[in-house]
Structure 1
Amino acid sequence: MNLISIITPSYNSINYINHVYRSICQQDYHHWEWLVTDDCSSDNTFKLLLELSQKDSRVKVFKNEENSGAAVSRNNSISKSNGDFIAFIDSDDLWLPNKLKKQIQFMNENKYDFSFTSYELIDENSVLLNKTVDNHDIQYVSYNDMLRKKATLGCSTVMLRRTAFDDISMPLIRTGQDYGLWLKLLKTGVNAYLISDVLTQYRILPDSISRNKIKKAKRQWQIYREIEKLPLLKSIECFCFYAWRAVFRK
């Protein structure tokens, strides 16, 4: 069986991190390791993670020397991982029990290196918000598709084949680092293939950046210009696609 390295950044996640762990343990694919890097939480998140690691040897816990952001935390965990595949789950999201098994079978049977799944939104109390994302009728997205945000590619839905990429580190920006990584990987010529089944639950919190459209738009522009270094006219073109989809996507 292929080993899956599950990557999670944590910061003041005491209310949800145990739920994340349970959703991983409830997977019907059991050959995994969970690598969590805590970003100097001020609550008991790190203490709880240490307790979990003492009970379960598959749980590997690390801590940043100073608060550095999710990109640094994820990159630290990735650098210490041993898996054939890399999967991501954030510290407040959840997986359905067949997520890992279905995704790794999908990738191995089709020889795909990059995949993602549809997901549904939940609130802070795990109540469904009756909204599903990335369930549209597409087979895959390319680099140019992703520049135009043809799909969202929720971080907690993505799985990567490690040997397919030379560098899986995220760009060191405070927000949108996962989107920056998807672009970097897709730029190599691979495509990201969609499993249209809902296999992930993405939690929307009151202070989530997902609620702040202005911050998201600024982040998008920053990635176009500073990370991807697109020419001005190309950035404007892609931003118009992004804005249109942000407004009209179902």
Structure 2
Amino acid sequence: MSLVSIILPTYNRSKFLNSAFRSIVSQTYQDWELIIVDDGSTDESQAIIEKFANSCSNKIKYIVQSNMGPARARNNGIRSAEGSFLAFFDSDDIWLPHHLSSCLKVLDDHTDVDWVYAACQRVEYENGNGNVILPSTFYHNGEPNKLFSLKSRVYGNLHIIEDNRAVEFQITYGIDSGLQNSVMRAGVFSEMLLPDFRIGEDRLFISMALKRGFKLAFIDDINVHYVVHSGNISDTNLSEENVDKRIIVMQQLIGSYKQTFDYIDNLTQKEKNALNHRLADDWFWKLGYSLQWSHGLRQQAINSYLEGIRLAPLRLTFWKTFIKAFLYFQVQKLRK
């Protein structure tokens, strides 16, 4: 058996830690070490972690750092990893018992695969009844995501991606991978570490890995319960009622996409076009329209619309929406 280094960054997640530890201990694959990186927690995390470490027979490493964000926490964990494979556990999620074993079987059976991931099921936490919000992140309304249209070698529910459009797809649609639902060969990190972003570092890292020639594969099965709650910092938490927080998250995500050009210097023209298209849509529709204009933040929305138009000046739908919004905004100012 090969050692798997599980890297668990955490920040003030004490109420989730015991569930996280039960999930890890319950894995059918047991040859693992756990590297916990505490990103400056101020709650009861330390006491819970130390109690678990004293009771666990597997090797536990506990690293404490000042609050620097999840990417730096994960990178510190990567530097301490001794395993041939790396897996990432988000402290508020739950791995199903077969997660490590099913991913490692793929990596053992297919030596050309460097990174394997499976689907998540999104589950609501706040009301305490575990309502399923999304049965599988690989499907929407029962229909398979764009991911399945990529050219792949298929073995049952395993799809090994062999499509030179993968980076373009990742930028435009996403290929439904994250760190928390993946297992990777340690060699992936011998060439690069995660970008130092608080939001979007995993999305950029996927493109970086693909551009460096690492091969990704996915298993069409549920391996992870992604727990949705008010403390999520991901842009996927659409239930978040704090509009200001959602705006900040979207701005940070846009910032991470903008920096793609700094991290990847060999994008094809199609990939560059896809990135500009994505940025334009995020500025205009996701930030400007859905988050700012729809919540009465008119001037901020106008500014975001202009950023989208700057990136895609020939998009007629942008101009139509912008002109209508601008005229409405001017009339409202005159009435005041």
Pick closer, same or farther for the CA change 1:225–1:158 going to 2, 3 Å: same
Distance 1:202 1:126 in 2: 14
**Which runs of 5 or more residues in structure 1 are unaligned?**
none
Distance 2:171 2:226 in 1: 22
Amino acid at match of 1:211: N
Report how far residue 192 of structure 1 moved.
1.9
Q: Say whether 1:128 aligns with 2:131.
A: yes
Amino acid at match of 1:159: V
1:123-202 alignment, distance < 5 Å? 123-124=124-125, 125=128, 127-131=130-134, 132-135=136-139, 136=144, 138=148, 139=159, 140=161, 142-202=166-226
Secondary structure at the aligned position of 1:76 is classed as: helix
Secondary structure at the aligned position of 2:219 is classed as: strand
Secondary structure at the aligned position of 1:235 is classed as: helix
Distance 2:196 2:222 in 1: 30
- The residue aligned with 1:21 is 21
Amino acid at match of 2:276: I
Distance 1:206 1:165 in 2: 31
8 Å CA contact 2:85–2:185 kept in 1: the answer is yes
Report how far residue 236 of structure 1 moved.
2.4
CA displacement, residues 23-56 of structure 1 (integer Å, 9 cap, x when unaligned): 1111110000111100111101022112211222
Q: Say whether 1:219 aligns with 2:219.
A: no
**Which runs of 5 or more residues in structure 2 are unaligned?**
149-158, 239-245, 287-336
- The residue aligned with 1:62 is 63
Secondary structure at the aligned position of 1:28 is classed as: coil
- TM-score w.r.t. the length of structure 1 is 0.87
CA displacement, residues 110-144 of structure 1 (integer Å, 9 cap, x when unaligned): 22111111110112236132412025362337322
8 Å CA contact 1:143–1:191 kept in 2: the answer is no
- The residue aligned with 1:102 is 102
Distance 1:3 1:181 in 2: 23
Distance 2:260 2:276 in 1: 15
Report how far residue 7 of structure 1 moved.
0.8
Amino acid at match of 2:121: E
Distance 1:73 1:153 in 2: 20
Distance 1:49 1:197 in 2: 30
8 Å CA contact 1:8–1:74 kept in 2: the answer is yes
Pick closer, same or farther for the CA change 1:28–1:195 going to 2, 3 Å: same
8 Å CA contact 1:224–1:235 kept in 2: the answer is yes
8 Å CA contact 2:107–2:116 kept in 1: the answer is yes
Q: Say whether 1:228 aligns with 2:261.
A: yes
Question: Max radius of gyration: which structure?
Answer: 2
Q: Which has more helix, going by share of residues? A: 2
Q: CA RMSD in A?
A: 2.4
Pick closer, same or farther for the CA change 1:27–1:107 going to 2, 3 Å: same
- The residue aligned with 2:153 is none
Q: Which has the higher contact order (CA 8 A, sep 6+)?
A: 1
- TM-score w.r.t. the length of structure 2 is 0.66
Secondary structure at the aligned position of 2:202 is classed as: helix
Secondary structure at the aligned position of 1:169 is classed as: coil
CA displacement, residues 192-249 of structure 1 (integer Å, 9 cap, x when unaligned): 2111100101011124233256445433422222233479754322346889xx9xxx
